[in-house]
Structures are given as C-alpha cells and as structure tokens.
Chains A and B, each alone.
Chain A
Amino acid sequence: MKAILELESVHKSFGGLHVTQNVSFSVMSGEISAIIGPNGAGKTTLFNQITGHLQPNSGRILLKGRDVVGQSPQKIVAQGIGRAFQIASLFPDETVLDNVKVACLSKLDQTRRFWRPVQAFRQATDRAYSILEDLGLEKQADRLAFELAHGDQKLLDIGIALVLEPQLLLLDEPTAGMSPEERQRTRELIKKLWKAYDLTLVFIEHDMDMVFGIAEKVRVLQLGALLAEGTPDEIRNNKEVVTAYLGEA
C-alpha cells in the first residue's frame, strides 16, 4: 500500500498557542481512519492545513508525494482532496439538487455556460440525482438547503464533496448534533460510501461507536500533538489515551 497523504513534522501556532505540534503521520491509500481528541485539540486546524485553508508554520504536507504547503484550497481540491466541514458549508438559498448540481457543473467545467437553463444540463442533473440517491436525500431534492434538518445538511455537504471524485475525503465530525438513530444510519452510510466511491477516508469524530466501529486506524490528538496512533484495539488499550481522553467518557 502506498501513502496518499503524509504529514512531516507539521507545526502551527496562533500567537503563543501551539495548535499543531510536530505532527507526523501517513495515511495509506484506501484506508478508513479516525482522528479523535478533546475539543480544542487542534483537529479541525489540522484539516485546515491539509486543505490549504491555513498554512503551517513549518513541516511538509505531501499529497500523493507532492508538497502542497502554500497552495490555495482551490489548487489542492483539484488534486483529489474533498472535504465536508464541521459546520455544513452549503448554498442555503438553493435547492438541495442545485447544491449538488453546481458541484457537478464545476466538475464538468460548465459553470461558464450562460444561455441554456440549468435544467437542460442532463449530465449534471443525472449525476446530481445519483449522488442524492446514494445519500438518501433524493426525496428532498426540491427543498431549499437551509430548510433541511441539521443531519441532512451535513450529508448534503458530503454529497457536494463527493461530486468532485476525491481520492481522499476528510469529514469533520459528520455525526455531530445527530440523534442516536441518525448516527447509526450515518455510520453505515459512510462505510458504504467509502467502499462505493473507492475513497481514502479520514474522519474526525466524538462518537466512539463510529470510531471503533468503522475505522481501521485511529489517531489521537491532544493539545496539538499526536498522542497515539494504532488499530482500534491498540488505542482502546492504550493507557495514556484512556487517562487523557477515553477515560472521561
């Protein structure tokens, strides 16, 4: 197996606050893994550096062997990284369908077309519907995005990311704010998407059923540093992790 993403001694601080401290790890192509850690540990900030939304102070971030530090999110997304955000990042006044469709049109490089109506772009429409079906959102296609339930908004965010056919997909707390039943559904859905879309998947999660249920590998962040890395079993039995994080649950 080859590494699709490699972090080498990544460091980031905001003023005196060190939010990423000497973090190194490799994500293997095709794996599904979790990042856990208490609130404020620097998980989202780590994602932000990988996707170019923030620049690390030092260290290298290699995507398929190439350093992407210093590149814009726009450039990085074109190299095969997709991301869904901790707070769903949608187009609130557009329909659910159009949220996905604008991504399809972007992918097909048709967003400059200014004459025929959006509905006439069949390829984008079909693709958007098939993604909504995969997410179980097809019945809500005509609703406006802001009207969706919180959990469905998070799914829609994932849908937008999937359109661009990322090889590596980063999900930031996909089940946050969901009811236990929704979590259960989302957990199975994410596992299904991982297989169906042939993804390398990294997710941040607080829901331990999800972490220990579907991740092949777990990484623990604490105060910006990588505290531990291993299989779910290794992490569960890691004394440091139990005292620092799991113990509190």
Chain B
Amino acid sequence: MTMKPGPKYSAAVLWTLMILGFALVPVLMSSSYQLNLASHVLVWGLFAVAFNMLWGVTGMLSFGQALYYGLGAYFVGLMVEYLGSAWYLPAIGIGMLAVAATSFLLGLLVIRVGGVYFTMLTLAFGQLAWQITFKWYDFTGGDDGIQGITAPGFLQNPIAYYYFLLVLVMLSMWILKRMAYSPFGLMLRCVRQNPERVRFLGRRVRRNQLRVYIVSSLFAGLAGSLMAGIDNSIHTDMFFWTTSGEVILMSVLGGLNQFFGPFVGAVAIIIIEDIVGAWTEYWSLIIGSLIMGMVILFPKGLVGELHHLKLRMMQLKARRSE
C-alpha cells in the first residue's frame, strides 16, 4: 500500500467535504428514508475501513469480522432489552470491552495459523457465534432478533441519533487514519509485504498482527453497536458470513490500497443495493453482476483508479512542462 498523504490542505478539504456532506443530509432530505440510508452508509463505512486495516494494510484476510460486529450489536440489544434503555450508552462501552477481550483471546489462536487457514478459522468462529445466537432462542430471541431497541433521552430523536452517529464514526475514522500513517501503520504495511524482513529487524510479526486484529475488531464492534440504534432492531444475520463478506466486497470495490477506499466502496454498494432493490426483485443477481463488472473494470478499486488517474495526469503535466 502506498500511503503517501498528499499536501496537508487537500486532506483537510476532503475531511471537510465529507463531514459537511453527511451533516447536511438531515437538512436537505425529503424523507426519513434518506436519513436511514445515510446512517447505514456511515456504519458500514466505518466497519469496512476498520476491516481494511486488517486486510488491505496488514494482509490478513479475515472472513469473520461479523463476529465482532454482531457482538457489539447484541451487547446493546440485550442490555437494553433486559436492563432498560438507560443502559444503551454503557452497553456500547461494555460491548467494546467484551470485543477487546474476545479478539485478544481468539486472536492468540487464529494468528498462529497464517494465510488461508487464518481466513477459514475466522470464518468458523464467526459462524459459531451465529449458530449460538440463532439457537439460544430464550436469551437472544433467535431468528426473531431483538426489536424495540430505543436509545435513551434526546437520542430517541432520529436526527439527534444521526448526529451522534456521525460524530462517533468520523472520530473513529480519524483515529484509524492517524494509525494508518503512524510508525505502527508503517510497521503493519511492512508485515504484509515482507514478514521475514520484519523479523530480521528484530520486530515481532505476530504481536503486530494481534494488535491490529484487536483494533480492527474494536471498531467493527462499535459499528455493530451503533447499528442497533438505527433500525431499533438487530438480527442474527449480523453474525452471518455474508456480513463478513460484505466488508470484503466493499474493500475490493473501493480499493484496498487507499485508506478511504472501503468507505467509498460502502457508499457505492449501499446505493446500488438501494436503487436496484427498489427496482427489481432479482436484485441480488443484478448487484452481484454489477459489482463483478466494476471490479473487473476497475481492478484497483474506485478510489485506487482515481488515484492512479491523478498520478498519470501529474506525470503528463510534468512531461509537457519539460
């Protein structure tokens, strides 16, 4: 991954535009449906960017990040269900602690096996969590999921909740972005490209993989817990392998090698799903073909191709001025 940040101001412009764009949604929207759509984009965008720290940056293809996404969601859902909506915000924090502990313990196990075995094992644990949630009807509501998850106080207002979501998602992305460009981020990229050499710098490969696994899982958990308040309901699907698959798809579509790639991928996929879903019942087939076409057309991902184009134009300009 070539993560050379551009000039400072262009990064600032990008952030401002993005935050402004999302902040204006409640003002400009014509229906609450659009607010809902923008909320989904934010949550999935965060989930995908966090996932890509693992895959695009460090080269660890997990097929089981849904485990942490679901865990975050179910902590909020279950605590609100059993203890009341005052527990909504504490549940987010407690859920993240649980995610940290789980990802640490599971991480010790899954990181020992590399490559495709890591992928298979993460998938297996994700599916295990799904099975448990699905079967344990008395506690989790099984296939019915949990409904009526309401946030406390003023957060019950959808617009207030939206801004709450916006702040947390942008804050999280900012933290992840700082990490990506820090010495730790550089070390992660080096782990992906040449783990042998990293060891011969006297650094521990697995230790760094474990660190990023926990970080990525934490933000996946946060995304899940925020999702619980958007539709006021959660479902076992959040643990299902298709959820893990979705963030993989978003990353590929947006571009693995760019920090914001997966976020743009999330925007694209959610908008496509929305438009195509409203238009035909064969939506999953059409979405599948559409995404496949885009990936073939833009192998570097949407943001990756854009970046490539910019570099080419700069080269052309440089050549012309010679």
Cα distance, A51 to B178, chains bound together (Å)? 35
Q: Shortest 5 CB-CB distances between A and B: which pairs?
A: A114-B184, A106-B201, A111-B187, A114-B182, A91-B193
**Which of B1-9, B96-104, B245-253 contacts its partner?**
B1-9
Interface residues on A, range: 20 to 34
Alpha-carbon distance between A164 and B203 when the two chains are bound, in angstroms: 12
Contact with B along A192-211 (1 / 0, CB 8 A): 00000000000000000000
- The 8 Å CB contact of B186, one of A101, A144, A160, is A101
How many angstroms from the CA of A17 to the CA of B184 in the assembled complex? Answer: 43
B207 to chain A, nearest CB (A): 9
Q: Is B183 an interface residue (CB 8 A)?
A: yes
Instruction: Assess whether A89 is interfacial by the CB under 8 Å rule.
Output: yes
Answer yes or no: B179 CB below 8 A from chain A CBs.
yes
CA distance A101 to B186 in the complex (A): 9
- Does A93 belong to the interface (CB within 8 Å)? yes
**CB within 8 Å for A115 and B190 given contacts A74-B202, A160-B201:** no
Inter-subunit contact B183/A103 (CB<8 Å): no
- Is A229 among interface residues, defined by CB-CB distance under 8 A? no
Q: Is A6 engaged at the interface, CB distance under 8 Å to the other chain?
A: no
Binding-face segment, A116-124, A219-227, A237-245:
A116-124
A213 at interface by CB-CB < 8 Å: no
Within 8 A of A (CB), among B1-44: 1-2, 4-5
With A102-B186, A105-B183, A116-B182 known as contacts, the answer to whether A74 contacts B197 (CB < 8 A) is no
Any B CB within 8 A of the CB of A2:
no
Q: Which residue of B lies closest to A94 (CB)?
A: B189
- Interface membership of chain B positions 182-213, coded 1 if the CB is closer than 8 angstroms to chain A and 0 otherwise: 11111101100110110111111000100100
Whether, in the assembled complex, A72 has its beta carbon less than 8 Å from a beta carbon of chain B, the answer is yes
B interface list, Cβ under 8 A from A: 1-2, 4-5, 178-179, 181-187, 189-190, 193-194, 196-197, 199-204, 208, 211
Q: Which residue of B lies closest to A157 (CB)?
A: B197
Bound Cα distance A111, B188 (Å): 9
Q: Is the interface of A mostly helix, strand, loop or mixed?
A: loop
Is A113 interfacial (CB-CB < 8 Å)?
A: yes
Q: Assuming A91-B194, A144-B2, is B200 touching A102 (CB within 8 A)?
A: no
Q: Which B residues touch A95, using CB under 8 A?
A: 2, 4
Show 22 residue pairs from A and B whose CB-CB distance is below 8 angstroms, ordered by the A residue.
A74-B199, A74-B202, A77-B200, A77-B202, A78-B202, A89-B200, A91-B194, A93-B2, A94-B2, A102-B183, A105-B183, A111-B184, A111-B208, A113-B182, A114-B179, A114-B184, A115-B182, A117-B181, A118-B183, A118-B186, A124-B183, A160-B197
* Complex interface: chain B residues within 8 A of A77 (CB): 200-202
Asked if A139 is an interface residue, CB under 8 A from chain B, the answer is: no
Asked whether A89 lies within 8 Å of B183 as measured between CB atoms, the reply is no
Which residues of B sit under 8 angstroms from A91, Cβ to Cβ? 189-190, 193-194, 197
Q: Please give, as numbers and ranges, the residues of chain B lying within 8 Å of A103 by CB-CB distance.
A: 201
Does the CB pair A73–B194 fall under 8 Å?
no
* Interface residue A71 (Cβ < 8 Å from any Cβ of B): no
Give chain B nearest CB distance to A30 CB in angstroms: 23
Are A117 and B184 in contact, CB atoms less than 8 angstroms apart? no
- Chain B residues with CB under 8 Å of A98's CB are 186
Which residues A121-148 have CB closer than 8 A to chain B?
A: 121, 124, 144
Does the CB pair A73–B187 fall under 8 Å?
no
A177 at the interface (CB under 8 A from B): no
Closest to A81 in B: B200
A83: interface (CB < 8 Å): yes
**Separation of A115 and B178 alpha carbons in the complex (Å):** 6
Asked if B1 contacts A93 (CB within 8 A), the reply is yes
- A93 near B183: Cβ-Cβ < 8 Å: no
Quick check: A94 and B199 within 8 Å, CB to CB? no
Alpha-carbon separation in the docked complex, A187 to B190 (Å): 29
Bound-state CA distance A78–B199 (Å) is 11
Q: How far is the CB of A48 from chain B (nearest CB, A)?
A: 12
Q: CB < 8 Å: which of A89, A105, A116, A124 contacts B187?
A: A105
Query: Which of B4, B182, B196, B199 has most chain A Cβ within 10 Å?
Result: B182
* A40 lies within 8 A of chain B by Cβ: no
Per-residue contact bits, chain A 36-52, to B (CB 8 Å; 1 contact, 0 not):
00000000000000010
